[in-house]
Structure formats: structure tokens, C-alpha cells
Amino acid sequence: SKLKEENPDILLQVARLNLKLKKIEEAEKVLKKIVEIDEDNFQALYLLATIQESKRNWSDVVKYLSKIDLIRDDMWEIKMYLGYAYLKLGKKEEAIKYFEQAKKLNDNEEFIYFYTGLAYIELENYEEAKKNFLNALNLSPEREDTLFYLAVSYDELNEDDRVEEILEKLIKINPENDEALNYLAYFWAERGENLEKALDYVKKALKKEPQNGAYIDTLGWIYYKMGRIEDARKVIHEAIKYLEDPVIYEHLGDIYFKLKKFKKAKKYYKKAIEKGHKKKEKIEEKIKKLGKS
């Protein structure tokens, strides 16, 4: 009957059933029909947003959530979800704007602080990132992601003692956290400290992810710092197979410099610049040094 076809409540039940049966396209058609009949239908708009999220269509997620946000301006969940969608679109300032609105409505939700922190990390504003991760940590003291990114923020702010303290705490909570094991191992390698422990940590990380180029590079870099240059050379060539990263090319340059193979060193330093090394001047200095060698 016409009435049944036009009744949003009945259509919503049909859509939910389709979603349950994993008939996503069917559900989407029905939900769009509901929105045609009743453009402010909160539940239909929300379900359309979640369907778009599952397809990774973040701009459509924003479109549907923004409509809800206009209808109901008092829902922190919607503002947080909007912020998250903007973050996925790479629109970090927009994301932060919505996260801040969400905080005003609910200052007791760790995820709002966590995602605000991530947005600030992407903006390379590590001071603000740190503040948000600390707030998130107050609400959930053992959340591994929060601890990890807090450590990253401290690292960027050159608060070295805090980096170690936070990562060691995280590894105590979860001795299998490969990201933390690798990060701390590389952190020590860069400083030439605790190299035996660093070696132990990165090997644990590699057990979990044997083909992770960044982890393989850490292993090679520890060998380099231990003076095991030939081992370092072999391992870092292996790392490049999995990850063509400018820093890994720089490491190869350093290794060949140490082996007095200056032509090869120059080749890899140039490759590091080509691949977009963040510290281009530093690499150019190394190439200049080669001219004198």
C-alpha cells in the first residue's frame, strides 16, 4: 500500500533488516528514500553515514553527519564522529574544530582527546598533542595507543627521559607491542645507548612482523652502532626491499661511507634526497664531505 511505502518507521525497519542480512546496497536505497520523505530523519542519516564509512567515502560521511549536526547540535558523539571523518580526509583543522566542540559537551571521553592528539601530531604541533594525550591518559591510564603517541610527542619535543619512561611502561603493560619495542630500540640506537637491550627489543618486534622494513632498518642501525658494519650493510639492504624510505637510504649512505666506498655512499645519499628526506641540508652536508674524501 502507498501508506506502507511512505512510512519512514516501517522503511527504517526494512533498512535495518537489509543491513543485518548484509544487503548493503538494498539498505542504502531504502535509507535514501526515507531521507527523501523526511529529510531530517536522524536515524536514516546516521545509518547512511555508517554505510559510507564502511566504504571509506569520508566526504559522504561528512555530508550525512553535518545534516544531523544541524538538526541536533547537542550530541558530542556526532561531533566526534564528524571530527574523525575530517581527520580521515586530511582536514586536520576542521577535525580539531569539531573535537573541541565535542569536548565542550563531554570532557570525560578519552577518544575525543586521543583523536585531537592525533590531529595535532599530523599538524606537527607536538605540545598540543602532548596535552591531549595526557588528558586521554588520565581517563584511561593503560591505553596502549595513547601511551605510544604520547611517547612520540615527547620524542619530537626532545623530552628524552619521558620517551623512555612511557615506552618502558607500555612494554610492561604489553611485552608484545611491536611498535613500542621497535620505537624504543631505534631511539636507543640513535643515541648509541643500551644497544644490547635495543637488539633484544627489535628482535622481538621482528618476530611479530618479520617483513616490516622499518623494523629491519632498526636492526641494521643497531648493528651499525655496534660497529658490526658488514652485518648492518646486509640487513639494511634487506630493509630497502620492503620499505623505500629516505632515512633508510641515508643509513646505507652512512654505511658505505664507513666502508670508504664513497661513490656508493654518494649514490644512496642522493637517493635519500630524491625520496624526500625531511632534513635535506643534513644530507647535502654529507655529500659535501664526500667531495673532500
Domain limit, last residue, from 72, 100, 132: 72
228: exposed, middle or buried (C-beta count within 10 Å: 0-12, 13-18, 19+)?
middle
- pLDDT (tens digit, 9 = 90+) per residue, 67-123? 999 999 899 999 999 999 999 999 999 999 999 999 999 999 999 999 999 999 999
CA-derived radius of gyration, the chain: 25
Q: What share of the chain in percent tops pLDDT 70?
A: 98
Domain annotation covers residue 216? no
pLDDT band of 290, cuts 50, 70, 90: confident
- pLDDT (tens digit, 9 = 90+) per residue, 113-151? 999 999 999 999 999 999 999 999 999 999 999 999 999
Domain annotation covers residue 275? yes
Domain annotation covers residue 9? yes
pLDDT of the residue at 4: 57
Q: Check the CA dihedral 61-135-74-97 and report its sign.
A: negative
Domain limit, last residue, from 56, 72, 88: 72
Q: What is the mean pLDDT of the chain?
A: 95
Look at the chain and report how many structural domains it folds into: 2
Comparing CA positions, the residue from 138, 120, 142 lying closest to residue 129 is 120
pLDDT of the residue at 1: 43
Domain annotation covers residue 54? yes
pLDDT band of 25, cuts 50, 70, 90: very high
pLDDT of the residue at 289: 87
Per-residue pLDDT for 34 more than 70?
yes
Comparing CA positions, the residue from 87, 14, 85 lying closest to residue 49 is 85
- Cβ-Cβ contacts under 8 Å for 88 (sequence gap 6 or more): 56, 58, 61
Q: Tell me, what CATH number does 45's domain have?
A: 1.25.40.10
Per-residue pLDDT for 292 more than 80?
no
pLDDT of the residue at 208: 97
Q: What share of the chain in percent tops pLDDT 90?
A: 94
pLDDT band of 3, cuts 50, 70, 90: very low
Length in residues, the chain = 293
Per-residue pLDDT for 11 more than 90?
yes
What is the rounded average pLDDT of the residues 166-180? 98
Domain annotation covers residue 57? yes
Domain limit, last residue, from 47, 72, 97: 72
Domain annotation covers residue 199? no
Domain annotation covers residue 161? no
- pLDDT (tens digit, 9 = 90+) per residue, 54-64? 999 999 999 99
Answer for the pair 87, 119: CB distance below 8 angstroms, yes or no: yes
Q: Check the CA dihedral 268-273-277-280 and report its sign.
A: positive
Supply the DSSP string of 25-49, one letter for each residue: HHHHHHHHHHHHH-TT-HHHHHHHH
Domain annotation covers residue 200? no
- pLDDT (tens digit, 9 = 90+) per residue, 177-222? 999 999 999 999 999 999 999 999 999 999 999 999 999 999 999 9
pLDDT band of 5, cuts 50, 70, 90: low
- pLDDT (tens digit, 9 = 90+) per residue, 228-255? 999 999 999 999 999 999 999 999 999 9
Structural domain including 292 reads 255-293
pLDDT of the residue at 263: 94
Rounded to two decimals, the pTM is 0.89
